[in-house]
Structure 1
Amino acid sequence: MLTGCWAAYVTKLEIDLPTNTELFGVDAIARLCNMESLKISGGSWVTDLLSSLSRSQEPKSDEGCWPNPRLISLTLVFRNAESYSPFGTSFLPTHASAVSDLVQKRWSQVADTAKDTSRLAALSSLVIRIPEELSDADSVEALASMACGSAKVLGYGVLRIISIE
């Protein structure tokens, strides 16, 4: 669905899908070379998209070697299954590790002055919305670890974690 020449003009995308990206496709989203803002809400497919964004590729054009090289704003919404839909998901340790992996692989290189960073924009806003209080100790520990590690890489004021009541 996200194909054709108009895809180069997409600068902002908001997706709210419960379980899969059959309508859009994870790879199709990653090919939007001018996208600056991405907000995704949904279930298990979110980790697939984060994994796709964290993989660099060989440069094929002037757009750069990273998926969505101009991405500066990323919002992740983890939905409460009871409140929103039977397909929603709570924040899980696997989500925290996917976010950490993305930040470490992609944006830690932007801070490294020895590398060519002209093809990858620095992230100015990472928002994580969590629908409920985390009662699972593993989830709390994973969230705290992800927040500390990501804040070190991204810098002051970039990461915000918001609990939705």
Structure 2
Amino acid sequence: MTAAQVMQHLVDSAGPAQEPAADMADLAQVIRTLLGVQAGRDTRVHLGRNLFDVVITGSGLQARAAVALMDQVQGGCGPVIEDPESGWFYWLVPPGSSARWAPHDHAVCLGAPHTITLPSLNRRVPPGPYWHRPSASDRLVPTGPLRDALARFRPEPTPHAALTNRLGITT
């Protein structure tokens, strides 16, 4: 095969020039979503992919004790959203966690294909969902220490039955 034939084969096998790579559409959507959150808009995002999954617990005193413990474990707890209307904490954990999450009496872990609405980054108080612990680009909440903290403090009410209504989360 000549050099020209090799080049033509590479061009032919690359496919149409106007067709974006399959994962680029997902990346573009993720970037638009995160820019919306940064710009001060509540934004619905898909769980999983390369972003995060979510662990849902009650947001009472026991959950706040778990946040305090995670502050110590992580040197500042990873991102946690509080929804005072539903009484839930949404702990942002690494993507893929839901596939490895064993049943827990006080928490549920959800990933793809579910979605969650992230509050704008500047929302730190109610009304509506807000960042109990702000999102930082360098960390999520690690599931191992979180499971231990939730088993220790046992936040109530448990989210299992209420999730049938998909509070804040949809498929």
- Please indicate the TM-score interval, normalised by the length of the shorter structure: under 0.3
TM-score, structure 2 as length reference = 0.23
TM-score, structure 1 as length reference = 0.24
